[in-house]
Amino acid sequence: MQLKISHWLFLCLLVAIFLVPAQVRLVHAQTTQQTPVPQQTPVTEDQINVIARELWCPLCSGVRLDACELKACDQMRQEIGLKLAAGDDLEAIKTYFVAQYGPQVLGEPPRAGFNWLAWILPFVVLLAGALFLVMRGRKLLFVKPGPTALPTVGPTVASNQDEPYVRRLEEELKRYD
């Protein structure tokens, strides 16, 4: 009697292993076929390019995703199309690509942490340059007049060693008169 019970248990185990999952798959297939599939509108190239204009190629430097001709960028644009068809919005797609390729795919440094320096430093340099030009321009344009020397009245007395030069100068001046 003991042998028959073990055969019976073995047979039940085989049925449970092989037939129950098949039945579950059939029931699942029937329920998925009976539910109406929502009609999706096809995603256009323009919709893909609107998002691709805001992303940058991770392989090329300084090339937007919509203008890049690499095969990898074609695949990224296809991925954008799939995400749009699935109903994802712009921020979700950007988040996905940042997780895949890093923040350089956004084309700008994120506004957090040490990267704030990249946003602030150009304005600080421009302000310092403008301040330098104003201060330097003030010195160049508004020169303070120093004390002026009064012209001497009357002839000056020349020393003995300057005498030959003074005579020669007077001769030269007479020639031009």
Q: Domain residue spans in the chain?
A: 45-113
Chain mean pLDDT for the chain: 76
pTM of the model: 0.45
Q: 170 is written with which tokens?
A: 């007077």
In 3D space, the residue among 93, 84, 12, 100 whose CA is nearest the CA of residue 48 turns out to be 84
Under 8 Å CB-to-CB from 158, ≥6 apart: which residues? 166
- pLDDT band for position 9 (50/70/90)? low
The answer, yes or no, to whether residue 37 has pLDDT greater than 90, is no
The CATH classification number of 45-113 equals 1.10.8.640
Q: Are the beta carbons of 58 and 101 closer than 8 angstroms? A: yes
pLDDT per position as a tens digit, 120-176 = 889 999 999 999 998 888 877 776 666 676 666 555 665 777 888 888 989 999 988
Q: Which residues contact 92 (CB under 8 A, 6 or more apart)?
A: 83
62: left (phi over 0), alpha (psi -120 to 50) or beta: left
Mean pLDDT of 33-53: 70
Q: pLDDT tens-digit profile of 72-121?
A: 888 888 898 898 888 888 888 888 988 888 888 887 777 777 778 877 88
